[in-house]
Structure formats: structure tokens, C-alpha cells
Amino acid sequence: MGYKIRAKEVMSRKPKFVSPDTSIAKAARLMARNKIGSVLVLDRGTLVGIVTEGDILRRAFIKNKHPTKTKVREIMSKKVLTISPNDDISAAAKLMNSKGIKRLPVVDGGRVVGILSEKDLLKIEPSIIDVLIEKLKIREPTFKLTYYPRG
């Protein structure tokens, strides 16, 4: 039996949090300042959502929502999948791939203790590249190059 790498061994231990009433502008500044692609949304210590750069782009920017007046609660993803610190990262990668997500909050006893991202996985588990390649094949259109000779 091979050694399994657990989420707690590779997760980012200091995820950034906002409240549901935080403006999307403030959430975006927090992401930019920390060079991260998401913030977790906590309401009285309970994980209630996640806001990603994609959420801000698709659910706010494109829809012309005012960045300082629109609250995170209006654009956050509310159904947040989580994993335990002891979960195997290969299983986490498969879950991320099957659900089309890039990040999984790590929760222990109802408390967020970290976040696991695709980047975290790639740092430690090169074989996960195969899973991500499959993901890209599904998402990216295939192009056929055709050569037309001149004349």
C-alpha cells in the first residue's frame, strides 16, 4: 500500500475570509493584494460561500453590478464542497475535476482550517497533471488545422 498525501500536508493554511455583507470591490482588492483567486465567505464563523475571480467577472462585472454597492452574498457560490484535512489529495483532485472547481475549503469539526487549490496539488503531486489535462480537453474546443496550398 502506497503512501497517501493528505490535504493538510499541502493545503494553504491561511485562507482569506469576508462576510456576506462585504462589497465585491473590497473582496476583489483582498484577492489582488494577496495574489489569490478566491475568498471564503463566513457568516458568524460558518462557511456560507466562496467568491472567485470568475464569480466577480461573470456575476458582477458582465452584468454591470456596482462594485462598491453589490454585496458578496449576491454573487457568491453558495453550494460549497469541502474536504477534511485527512482526505487524500488524489480523491480531492478527482472531485475538483468532476465538479469543475479549482478550490476546496478544508474543514475540520465545522471550522475552516485551510483551502486546497489546483496549484497546491500541482506543487506536490505531478501525476495530478493527467487529471488536469483531461479537464482541459473537456473544456477546450478542439481545432482541426487544414493546410490549403497556394495556387
Q: Is the pLDDT of residue 57 over 80?
A: yes
State the CATH number of the domain containing residue 123.
3.10.580.10
pTM of full prediction above 0.75? yes
pLDDT score for 121? 84
Q: Is the pLDDT of residue 80 over 90?
A: yes
Q: What is the 3-state secondary structure (H, E, C) of the chain?
A: CCCCCEHHHHCECCCCEECCCCEHHHHHHHHHHHCCCEEEEEECCEEEEEEEHHHHHHHHHCCCCCCCCCEHHHCCECCCCCECCCCEHHHHHHHHHHHCCCEEEEEECCEEEEEEEHHHHHHHCCCHHHHHHHHHHHHCCCCCCCCCCCC
The domain of 20 spans 7-139
148 is a domain residue? no
How many structural domains does the chain have? 1
pLDDT score for 119? 86
Mean pLDDT over each residue of the chain, to the nearest integer: 86
25 is a domain residue? yes
Q: Is the pLDDT of residue 1 over 50?
A: no
